[in-house]
């Protein structure tokens, strides 16, 4: 797997956990990781690896679980397919096959058991070493038109701190997320995190700021994860490790960058469908056809003739 030459910043490694069970998307995820579900014509995880590479993080470690071969095959070369397309002289499709293996230097590591996101991140210790690194959840898609990771790395560098991504959500949705207790800073898009609560009821939520799947972590997180007891759901929770830091028990503070762009949780069925529609209408080859069809379909829906 080859990596394109890019300017190296302070953070060069990305970890992409993709070893969860994906139970919200059964039966599609019975034999396939949810991160491999396509969004238009690419698996979700390819967008995530592209996002890391676009932010200058071209060393990407994917943490895989059961069905790992689906993911490793996708980022590897496929000689039979390439040969068949070469024989046909189909350069366009050949380019699409090569694309995934040329985005970044992709490494894979198996998480033996799905013991939680914190545990998955802890598995990356040897690969990451004593450097800060980014974590991008493999089923959490940030629209490439609304870049976030570069901003988070810049805040990490400027404040010498752990940085997580937050998004404002309506009160009725906060119970689906980790929620941050925050203090303002001099920047309206950046808050200081004073505590994190995993999936609180709306009445107990300290804010409307939900934690979303992007983190820039300092290597001290590994020692904290090692000491964690299983938390919510019996899993080793990354939120618990971050809370330890937010409460001032680690070496440095935690800041949150408030993301105001487009983001899709592709492990959630409704969000997955929306992501396909939103990126479908924007697709260079398919956009016009899908937009026309959607407009007609919306008219028929309004007229109660959706089956026509
Ligand atoms: P989720 O909580 O969304 O994953 O984890 P899940 O457990 O697969 O989800 P459902 O509820 O059963 O559908 C967030 C991210 O952490 C990864 C997942 O793959 C996802 O990218 N993860 C989670 C791991 O890599 N290992 C784990 O043990 C747990």
156-182 pLDDT, tens digit per residue, is 999 999 999 999 999 999 999 999 999
Ligand 1 mutation target, pool 16, 113, 117, most atoms within 8 A of CB:
117
Distance between CA atoms of residues 47 and 272, nearest Å: 13
Distance between CA atoms of residues 238 and 119, nearest Å: 8
14: β partners: 60, 134
Q: What is the pTM of this model?
A: 0.93
Q: Is the CB of 278 under 6 A from ligand 1?
A: no
- CA separation (Å) from 304 to 36, 74, 298? 35, 42, 10
Residue of the CA atom closest to atom 2 of ligand 1: 20
Nearest to 100 by CA among 41, 34, 145: 41
Contact of 16 with 105, CB cutoff 8 Å: no
The conformation of residue 230, written as its DSSP 8-state character, comes to P
Q: Is the CB of 135 under 6 A from ligand 1?
A: no
Average the pLDDT over each of 84-93, 101-110, 273-282 and give the range with the smallest value: 84-93
Instruction: Give pLDDT, residue 92.
Output: 86
Distance between CA atoms of residues 101 and 228, nearest Å: 36
- Model pLDDT for residues 266-304, shown as the tens digit of each residue: 999 999 999 999 999 999 999 999 999 999 999 999 998
CA 106 to chain centre: 15
| Residue 66 CB neighbour total at 10 angstroms | 15
Q: Is the CB of 44 under 6 A from ligand 1?
A: no
Residue 61 has pLDDT above 90, yes or no: yes
Domains of the chain, with CATH numbers? 3-267 (3.90.550.10), 268-308 (no CATH)
Residue 3 has pLDDT above 50, yes or no: no
Ligand 1 mutation target, pool 25, 68, 267, most atoms within 8 A of CB:
267
Residue 306 has pLDDT above 80, yes or no: no
Q: Is the CB of 18 under 6 A from ligand 1?
A: yes
Q: Determine the average pLDDT of the residues in 189-212.
A: 95
Enter the tokens of residue 1.
């797997």
Ligand 1 mutation target, pool 19, 20, 66, most atoms within 8 A of CB:
20
120 alpha carbon – ligand 1 mean position (Å): 9
135 alpha carbon – ligand 1 mean position (Å): 13
Which among 18-22, 92-96, 255-259 has the top mean pLDDT?
Answer: 255-259
Class of residue 129 by CB neighbours under 10 A (exposed 0-12, middle 13-18, buried 19+): exposed
61: β partners: 15, 107
Q: Which atom of ligand 1 is nearest to the CA of 21?
A: 8
Going by C-beta distance under 8 Å and a sequence separation of 6 or more, which residues neighbour residue 37? 25, 28, 29, 43, 44, 266, 272
Identify how many contiguous H helices and E strands the chain contains and give both numbers.
11, 13
Q: Which atom of ligand 1 is nearest to the CA of 137?
A: 21
Q: Is the CB of 121 under 6 A from ligand 1?
A: no
21 vs 252, higher pLDDT: 21
Distance between CA atoms of residues 254 and 244, nearest Å: 10
């Amino acid at each position: 797997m080859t990596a394109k030459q890019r300017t190296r910043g302070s953070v060069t490694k990305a970890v992409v956990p993709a070893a969860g069970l994906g139970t919200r998307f059964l039966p599609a995820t019975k034999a396939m990781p949810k991160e491999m579900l396509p969004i238009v014509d690419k698996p979700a995880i390819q967008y995530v690896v592209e996002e890391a590479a676009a932010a200058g993080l071209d060393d990407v470690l994917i943490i895989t679980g059961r069905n790992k071969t689906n993911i490793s095959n996708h980022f590897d070369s496929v000689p039979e397919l390439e040969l068949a397309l070469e024989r046909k002289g189909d350069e366009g499709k050949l380019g699409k096959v090569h694309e995934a293996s040329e985005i970044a230097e992709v490494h894979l590591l198996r998480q033996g058991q799905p013991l939680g996101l914190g545990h998955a991140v802890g598995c990356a210790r040897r690969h990451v070493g004593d450097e800060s690194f980014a974590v991008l959840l493999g089923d959490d898609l940030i629209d490439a038109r609304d870049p976030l990771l570069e901003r988070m790395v810049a805040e990490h560098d400027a404040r010498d701190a752990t940085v997580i991504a937050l998004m404002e959500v309506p009160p009725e949705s906060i119970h689906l997320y980790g929620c941050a207790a925050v203090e303002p800073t001099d920047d309206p898009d950046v808050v200081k995190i004073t505590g994190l609560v995993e999936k609180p009821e709306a009445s107990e939520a300290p804010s409307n700021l939900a934690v979303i799947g992007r983190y820039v972590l300092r290597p001290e997180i590994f020692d904290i994860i090692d000491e964690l007891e299983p938390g919510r759901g019996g899993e080793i929770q990354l939120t618990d490790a971050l809370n330890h830091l937010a409460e001032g028990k680690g070496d440095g503070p935690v800041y949150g960058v408030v993301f105001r762009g487009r983001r899709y949780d592709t492990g959630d069925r409704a969000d997955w469908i929306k992501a396909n529609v939103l990126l479908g209408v924007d697709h260079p080859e398919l956009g016009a056809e899908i937009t026309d069809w959607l407009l007609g379909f919306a008219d028929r829906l309004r007229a109660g003739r959706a089956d026509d």
